[in-house]
Chain A
Amino acid sequence: MNLILFSFAATLCGIVLVLILPLRLKKNAALTTVILSGILNFTAAFTALKYGSTELLIHCSFPFGTVPLRIDSLAAFFIIVINITIITGCWYGFYYMKMFTSRTKDPVHWVSFLFLQASMTAVCVMQNVLAFLFCWEIMTVACFLLVTYEHEKRQTLRAGINYFIQSHICVLLLITGFIWVSGTAGSMDMRQIMEHARAHSATISPWPFIILFTGFAFKAGFVPLHTWLPWAHPAAPAHVSGVMSGVIIKMGIFGIFRVLPLCQGNVLAMGRLILILSTATALYGVMVAIVQHNLKRLLAYHSIENIGIIGMGLGLGLMGTGMGNGTVAMAGYCGALLHTLNHSLFKSLLFYATGSVYRKTHTVIIEELGGIMKYMPFTAGLFLMPALAITGLPPLNGFVSEFLIYSSMYTGLTSGELPVSMIMLCCIFGLVMVGGLAFLCFTKAFGIVFLGIPRSPLPEECSEVENMALVPQIAVLCLIVCIGLFPAPFVRLVSIPASAIIDNAAMAGVQPPSTWLMHSLSMAGIVLLLMTALMLSVRRLAAGRSSRRQPPVWGCGYTGGSPKIQYTATSFVQTYTSIASPLLKVHSERPVLKGMFPETGSFHTHAYDKVEEILVDRNMQRLGRLMNVFGFLQNGLIQYYILYGVIFITAILAFTFRQTIFSFIMSFLALG
């Protein structure tokens, strides 16, 4: 436990160091601090996982009271997830930031980064409601400062402010929910609040949980509360996007897990609601992702999809608890937690690889890229592997967590009652469709960006990034492959918090997913890998004498290899777009061709988020119209503004002395 305090102290020293050191040394200091306190956090977390939860009481004065710091298994697991991505993010950012020539904004950036690490770790361990909200707020502000690094760009600032406002709606909901529960329980200690909820499981109102869930869902990006996410991710520098998508939105998931004991009473119905909501989130996220032109925006929508998959596991866990079926609950929670870890790995890696592409080509618009693999082979590989993992293909880690969620759903399907079976079947269908859509999306993203021939002239210095920038990415890749090939220890890791959650729900004797099953999975993965190696070596032996001749590819009369006739991202998903058009909002401008030899024309498509349009934009317009009614008040004449002030003061005075005035008038009338 003390290790966590040491890590906070280290971060504090780091912040001071970053502020006083000369400009060129600042990022070194930041990286060192992040790694150092990361290691301290890891040690603390693993100790807590191994020897059970530890706690430390800090007695503060008003308003906090006693602040308990506890590392239980859930907090420990999330500390591990957070610190892995924070370290790789900082390490990658160390090289990524070279592309910005101006160094003046660096101090704020690196200090925010250090604050982010400390505040996220603190959110995990703070078990006092007020202190939790306090750290949550620091995290939000630090993240805002990181996102708006390029604040001179209007787009970035808009995205940042959008994020800031929506984060505060989230905070507002959290405050409401926490005041409610701590008022009912008569304590600010989370453990006592949860115990109170468990003790009064029959009478507790479901509303605090729903309010808190909604608040955390803002952070996590559940549809329809996701609208800040696709703006903020592309605006931030690549390593910040990686960290944001990898772990910051996972804090929402952490929060939901943290307040899960508040969900008492009809758990099955709540689980069902979350499951259906999450399936819809996953489907919507990936459906919109496919039509995006900006690679980072595409990845941002994929984060929404993956949050949906995590939410499915969570909903399944609750449903399993409600049904009294431990296998469903265990597999669901394990799937959700493992997918949290997996997504933080492959999504951050996808963002890093995209960042490398941006560094060299200065664009992330998919239609302008192409053939990058010939210039940046390692970056291409570092994009391909997580792309396979996010699609859920074996033998990588995405498959393992999706497999756990599938197994939970199939177990529910075969052992539940008719309504449960129907819902499970629909959700299996949903998850398969999500997988298929992600397949379409990532064949597009990888195929168009990295393969074929360049669609627009690339900068001359387009080459692989420096080797050291590849190191953190390769480290993440190793973890991805490791979890995919040897899932057993990782599943055991996530089963500790998962069984803690289930035990809390008073269901004893639940076994974690069997080790034998995990070994079979890893065996199957290894067979697949060996078979691939075998086939590649057979091909090498049999066809080693491949012809030196390199003819142009087939282009049916034209020879291929011209970007003009190459398939584009839009044309690759054109059939899909037309099928899915009722659910999407794709605006296209077609040129009108006239005459026998038409002039050159151009064709634009632009995808917009339909949910955002209906829920956010239209309501903002309505609000704007309402406010316009009062527009006459703001006429720019200073006399009027003074008049408003006078009227206001008079009104206040009149209101304060209303009784005196009233009695005066009455007496006056009576006299009269």
Chain B
Amino acid sequence: MESFILIIAASLFFTGIIGRVKSLTAGRKGPDVLQPLRDIARNLKKAPVYGDTTGIIFRIAPSIYMASLITAALCIPLGSRPGIISFQWDFVFFVYTLALGKFFMIIAALDTGSPFEGMGASREALFSLFMEPALFMIMGSFALLTGNSSFAGIFASLHGSAIPASAAYTISGIAAAILMLTGMVENSRMPVDDPRTHLELTMIHEVMILDNSGFDLGMIMYGVCIKFSIYGAIIANLIIRPGTGLVLYALLFLAVQAGFAVFTGIVESFMSRFRMKNNPQFIYTITAATLLVFLAVMHVAGIRGKM
């Protein structure tokens, strides 16, 4: 429960911080941190307009997307405090729940019959295919390292006495770095997709939602925020020691989230988007890098005489 509240809290500021960092690095005055929230709120007040070729799937998809994100957020623990949904191998459920939302967004884009949205749908489906194994591999490696099987169990025992702190921090550091990149790809941010672009041909996520409007668009925009903070929460869990008190933990948690947002903002300010052709290679490289985590775990487990 604590983790869910904190994820929601972090999600309120996440994209605001990214925007702020981008404006600061560009030397602009820029909008304040709450501007994205105002945009979302304005959209939520509006009634949606639906195109003439769209059907029922297009109308229900944003709601299912939002529901899948919230359910996924419920799986995330806060240190040793388990999430509301917590069982053995719950990360399998977590990933597949996120996939459910994505499935509906993709078919909703195809529901419009618009060429551009089909294009975005095609790219989103392909990239998520390449991205999917990353979390499975990372969590599998941690399960091997800690001997635990759920999010909560793994995060609780990762920084325990059984594993030397240097090893735990090295491995979780690599994993956190990979997860940051994963989070950025999943949210269609800079090196893969440019959320600020105005040319449909170069978009991925934005082009899928061209025809969404009003309440639906508001939900999708908020979905980006909450997805970012879900990934930020996993990263925070990897890095912060679970023994700390709740208040301190919460502060550290928010600090990690802010750090992730700043990192995303800086990357967006100083990098240009890759050619669309190179994106699959980049994404697959991230996925392949999860093997590093596995090798490191093998090394540590070997030292501990487990193998």
Binding site for B on A (CB under 8 A): 370-371, 373-374, 377, 384, 388, 391-394, 399, 402-403, 406-407, 410-411, 413-414, 417-418, 421, 425, 428-429, 432-433, 435-437, 439-440, 442-444, 446-448, 451-453, 516-517, 520-521, 523-524, 527-528, 531-532, 534-536, 538-539, 542-543, 545-547, 549-556, 560-561, 563, 565-567, 571-576, 579
Q: Check if B126 sits within 8 Å of A575, measured CB to CB.
A: yes
In the bound assembly, the distance between CA atoms of A446 and B110 in angstroms comes to 9
In the bound assembly, the distance between CA atoms of A576 and B123 in angstroms comes to 9
- Tell me which residues from 272 to 290 in chain B have a Cβ below 8 Å from any Cβ of chain A: 280
- A546-B214, A550-B51 are known; give 14 further A-B pairs, CB within 8 A: A371-B113, A394-B97, A399-B96, A403-B89, A421-B298, A435-B132, A436-B130, A439-B129, A448-B110, A532-B68, A536-B60, A543-B214, A551-B51, A553-B54
Q: Check if A439 sits within 8 Å of B99, measured CB to CB.
A: yes
Q: Check if B298 sits within 8 Å of A418, measured CB to CB.
A: yes
A-B CB contact pairs (8 Å), 15 listed:
A421-B144, A442-B103, A443-B107, A443-B125, A452-B110, A521-B87, A527-B74, A528-B67, A539-B215, A553-B52, A555-B116, A560-B114, A567-B121, A572-B118, A572-B121
Q: Check if B122 sits within 8 Å of A567, measured CB to CB.
A: yes
Could you say which of B133-141, B162-170, B226-234 contacts chain A?
B133-141
Name the prevailing secondary structure of the A interface residues: helix
B95 (CB) vs chain A CBs: closest residue:
A432
Could you say which of B13-21, B41-49, B239-247 contacts chain A?
B41-49
B225 at the interface (CB under 8 A from A): no
User: Could you tell me the distance in whole angstroms from the C-beta of A479 to the nearest C-beta in chain B?
Assistant: 20
Interface residues on B, range: 35 or more
Q: Which residues of chain B come closer than 8 Å to A566, judged between CB atoms?
A: 113-115, 118
Q: Which of B53, B64, B75 has the most CB of A within 10 A?
A: B53
In the bound assembly, the distance between CA atoms of A560 and B116 in angstroms comes to 9
Q: Check if A394 sits within 8 Å of B110, measured CB to CB.
A: no
In the bound assembly, the distance between CA atoms of A156 and B120 in angstroms comes to 38
B122 CB contact (under 8 Å) in A394, A552, A572: A572
Q: Which residues of chain A come closer than 8 Å to B140, judged between CB atoms?
A: 410, 413, 425, 428
Q: A448-B110, A567-B115 are in contact. Are A546 and B144 (CB under 8 A)?
A: no
Q: Check if B133 sits within 8 Å of A394, measured CB to CB.
A: no
User: Could you tell me the distance in whole angstroms from the C-beta of B129 to the nearest C-beta in chain A?
Assistant: 4
Q: Check if B51 sits within 8 Å of A552, measured CB to CB.
A: yes
In the bound assembly, the distance between CA atoms of A439 and B106 in angstroms comes to 10
Q: A527-B85, A543-B215 are in contact. Are A429 and B137 (CB under 8 A)?
A: yes
User: Could you tell me the distance in whole angstroms from the C-beta of B246 to the nearest C-beta in chain A?
Assistant: 24
User: Could you tell me the distance in whole angstroms from the C-beta of A458 to the nearest C-beta in chain B?
Assistant: 14
User: Could you tell me the distance in whole angstroms from the C-beta of B294 to the nearest C-beta in chain A?
Assistant: 6
Q: Check if A553 sits within 8 Å of B211, measured CB to CB.
A: yes
User: Could you tell me the distance in whole angstroms from the C-beta of B93 to the nearest C-beta in chain A?
Assistant: 5
Q: Check if A542 sits within 8 Å of B44, measured CB to CB.
A: yes
B64 (CB) vs chain A CBs: closest residue:
A532
Q: Which residues of chain A come closer than 8 Å to B48, judged between CB atoms?
A: 543, 546-547
In the bound assembly, the distance between CA atoms of A556 and B125 in angstroms comes to 22
A432 CB contact (under 8 Å) in B53, B56, B126, B136: B136
User: Could you tell me the distance in whole angstroms from the C-beta of B291 to the nearest C-beta in chain A?
Assistant: 9
Q: Which residues of chain B come closer than 8 Å to A388, judged between CB atoms?
A: 100, 103
B307 (CB) vs chain A CBs: closest residue:
A418
In the bound assembly, the distance between CA atoms of A532 and B64 in angstroms comes to 5
The proximity string for B residues 16-56 relative to A, scoring 1 for CB distances below 8 Å and 0 otherwise, is 00000000000000000000000000001001111111111
Q: Check if A546 sits within 8 Å of B47, measured CB to CB.
A: yes
User: Could you tell me the distance in whole angstroms from the C-beta of A448 to the nearest C-beta in chain B?
Assistant: 7
B80 at the interface (CB under 8 A from A): no
User: Could you tell me the distance in whole angstroms from the C-beta of A312 to the nearest C-beta in chain B?
Assistant: 15
Q: Check if A579 sits within 8 Å of B115, measured CB to CB.
A: no
In the bound assembly, the distance between CA atoms of A199 and B62 in angstroms comes to 61
- Identify the 5 closest CB pairs spanning chains A and B, nearest first: A567-B118, A447-B110, A520-B87, A553-B51, A452-B113
In the bound assembly, the distance between CA atoms of A535 and B71 in angstroms comes to 11
User: Could you tell me the distance in whole angstroms from the C-beta of B124 to the nearest C-beta in chain A?
Assistant: 9
B51 CB contact (under 8 Å) in A432, A446, A560, A572: A560
User: Could you tell me the distance in whole angstroms from the C-beta of A663 to the nearest C-beta in chain B?
Assistant: 76
Q: Which of B92, B215, B298 has the most CB of A within 10 A?
A: B92
A541 (CB) vs chain B CBs: closest residue:
B215
A554 (CB) vs chain B CBs: closest residue:
B210
In the bound assembly, the distance between CA atoms of A452 and B115 in angstroms comes to 10
User: Could you tell me the distance in whole angstroms from the C-beta of B41 to the nearest C-beta in chain A?
Assistant: 12
Q: Check if B216 sits within 8 Å of A436, measured CB to CB.
A: no
In the bound assembly, the distance between CA atoms of A294 and B298 in angstroms comes to 45
User: Could you tell me the distance in whole angstroms from the C-beta of A393 to the nearest C-beta in chain B?
Assistant: 4
In the bound assembly, the distance between CA atoms of A241 and B37 in angstroms comes to 52
User: Could you tell me the distance in whole angstroms from the C-beta of A545 to the nearest C-beta in chain B?
Assistant: 5
In the bound assembly, the distance between CA atoms of A320 and B122 in angstroms comes to 39
B107 (CB) vs chain A CBs: closest residue:
A447
In the bound assembly, the distance between CA atoms of A542 and B46 in angstroms comes to 9
